[in-house]
Structure 1
Amino acid sequence: MSSIKELFQHKKNNVLNVYCTAGYPKLESTLEVIKALQQNGADLVEIGMPYSDPLADGPVIQASSTIALANGMTIHKLFEQLKTLHDAGQKKVPIVLMGYMNPVLQYGFEKFCKDAAAVGVDGLILPDLPEYEFETEYGPIIKKYGLDFIFLVTPETSEQRVKKLDALSSGFLYAVSSSSTTGKDKNFTSVQHYLEKLQSYKLQNPVLVGFGIKDKASFTDACEFSNGAIIGTAYIKALENSIDINSSTQAFLKTITL
């Protein structure tokens, strides 16, 4: 059983997935950020692999990617950092990599999956990997290396397609709260109907809600009709001018979980 599936077996509600950008705010910040998240209440860590043309990301995460790339972050560098964490036995929660196909294909898709699994990565989110290509070409490679793969669904995704993407996903299903980029404010009254609809489909995977989760109120609202939520932009903002990553992370997560 994968680490992500194990997590949802022992914690079915209020699962907190926190997104961070690899190599932000500084090139060597990645491990410090992961350790701080683990120590202060994150159940899952989603690491963004910075890319110059991120389709789903809002301005805050785009800016963090630009800084990370300028810092010299690459997939190779990220894997070196994760290997240090893995080899030292310091990885305490599941790690998911989020990114886009272009840099992964440049790295070599099978090599990417093999190297990711070797350094303790548990799952992948690649929003621009189409369903057909996943089924026919890339899915078997991902499965070969024991990685979970998470598809995204939106309020506009049909019931038939939601169920298909749920069947193809493993680990969890990522429910985008609305069809927009990350970081946009959401009215969760309008999101509630969508999440209730997903609940009624009796999906095989747990559901985590992302986009617009930024504080205790939005986290609580998201968790009412799902297994948990994903916070990204608000955490990146908390790190923006951070002098001490652990202290900033602790202070931020307290506002969500207490």
Structure 2
Amino acid sequence: MNPIDSLFQRLRAAKRAAFMPFVTAGDPDIAFTRELLPAVADAGADLMEIGFPFSDPIADGPVIQASYTRALAQKLKLADVFAALRDTTARPGWSAPLVSMASYSLMFKMGPAAFIDAAKAAGVSGAVVPDVPVEEAEELSKLAADRDFKLVLLVTPTTSPQRAEKVVKACGGFVYVVSVVGITGAREALPSALREQLTRLRTMTELPLCVGFGVSRPEHVRELKEIADGVIVGSAVVKKLEAAGTDRAKGLADVKQLVSELRGALG
């Protein structure tokens, strides 16, 4: 069984939502990523979304865009990212599934099958692909399914019910539910329509529904734990990486503290 499926099966039995922090690979450099991932897992992450830096991000706000820029300034290559992830998942006792957040442009350039094979070899269990239209996802979905690799697509507040049904059918592992209209980034409060959005999606799929975009505070996590199967926190975590550029110990400590605090809000 794919590690993502196994995780959500265990968490559903325990009646607990998953906590999924997002971190950028290679920020401020790939050596730091090798330190960061085990620290984030120890702080309570159930699974992790790994941002693959890309020069033209689609839905990322200024915090994650800046993080990608810092990583790319180090001449980061896909091979470097896969090597760091492979080293991480090969650690004794490692159990947190990894999911890449990768533009389809990166996958297309490498070759989708080659990308999936390299990701699996590095211990990655799935990929969130934010910029592939569901109408063009059939081939990618089949490639992923044939390799027991989970393809995760996004459903937004403006996705029509008819299109949302197509999206969830193309997904594996979980559905990435975007809570707000717009780009990633911390928000003051979650939208009131989110509960209705999740209720509607539950009539379309039995896959876990994981909510991201705008989730940044313990009160957001406490609100989501009753209505979502997973909570994704990106910009708030990545913001803490800025300090690692000048003080690695502080950057690592700040990320660990935030992850621990947010994970604690799930109970």
TM-score, normalising length from structure 1? Answer: 0.93
CA deviation after TM superposition for structure 1 residue 25, in Å: 2.1
Deviation, structure 1 residue 226? 0.9
CA distance in 2, matches of 1:107, 1:189: 38
SS class of match (1:50):
coil
- 3-state SS of paired residue (2:239): helix
Q: Distance in 2 between matches of 1:15 and 1:148?
A: 16
Does structure 2 retain, via aligned residues, the 8 Å contact 1:117–1:146?
no
| Partner SS state of residue 11, structure 1 | helix
Tell me by how many angstroms 1:201 deviates. 1.7
CA distance in 1, matches of 2:193, 2:93: 37
1:42 is aligned to 45
Which stretch has the larger CA shift, 45-54 or 80-89? 80-89
1:222 to 211, 221, 224: 224
**Deviation at residue 81 of structure 1 after TM alignment:** 1.2
Secondary structure at the aligned position of 2:29 is classed as: coil
In the alignment, the residues of structure 2 paired with residue 9 and residue 193 of structure 1 have an alpha-carbon distance, to the nearest angstrom, of 22
Q: Per the alignment, do residues 138 and 196 of structure 1 end up closer, same or farther by CA in structure 2, a change over 3 Å counting? A: closer
Contact 2:186 2:236 in 1 (8 A): no
**Candidates 178, 181, 186, aligned match of 1:179:** 181
Aligned CA distance change for structure 1 residues 105 and 193 (closer, same or farther; 3 Å): same
Counterpart code for 1:247: A
What is the CA distance between 1:132 and its match in structure 2?
2.5
RMSD across aligned positions (CA): 1.8
CA apart distance, 1:222: 2.2
TM-superposed deviation, 1:174: 0.5
Aligned partner (choices 24, 30, 39) of residue 27 of structure 2: 24
Instruction: Name 1:104's counterpart in structure 2.
Output: 107
* Counterparts of 1:199 and 1:79, CA distance in 2: 33
Q: Percent identity?
A: 33
More moved, 115-124 vs 239-248: 239-248
Q: Is 2:196 aligned against 1:194?
A: yes
Counterparts of 1:200 and 1:139 in 2: how far apart (Å)?
Answer: 21
**What is the CA distance between 1:187 and its match in structure 2?**
3.1
Aligned-partner Cα distance in 2 for 1:80–1:104? 17
Structure 1 residue 246, shift from structure 2 partner: 4.2
Return the alpha-carbon distance in structure 1 between the equivalents of residues 242 and 225 of structure 2: 27
CA distance in 2, matches of 1:240, 1:206: 32
| CA distance, structure 2, for counterparts of residue 81 and residue 199 of structure 1 | 35
What does residue range 45-194 of structure 1 map to in structure 2 within 5 Å? 45-89=48-92, 91-135=94-138, 137-185=139-187, 187-194=189-196
Number of the residue aligned with 2:11: 11
Answer yes or no: is the 8 Å Cα contact 2:30–2:80 preserved in 1. no
Partner deviation per Cα, 1:2-50 (whole Å, 9 max, x = no partner): 1001111111332101100000122311221111111110011100000
Amino acid at match of 2:135: Y
Q: Distance in 1 between matches of 2:257 and 2:74?
A: 26
Cα offset for 1:230?
0.3
For 1:251, the equivalent position in structure 2 comes to: 257
Deviates more, 1:59-68 or 1:194-203: 194-203
Q: How many residues align?
A: 257
1:255 Cα deviation (Å)?
A: 2.2
Contact 1:166 1:204 in 2 (8 A): no
Q: 2:98 and 2:184 mapped to 1: Cα distance?
A: 20
Q: Deviations over 1:134-184 (max 9, x none)?
A: 21x222222222210111001111222222211221110000001210004
The letter for the 2-side match of 1:73 is L
Q: Secondary structure at the match of 1:175?
A: strand
3-state SS, counterpart of residue 255 of structure 2? helix
Match of residue 207, structure 2, among 188, 205, 208 = 205
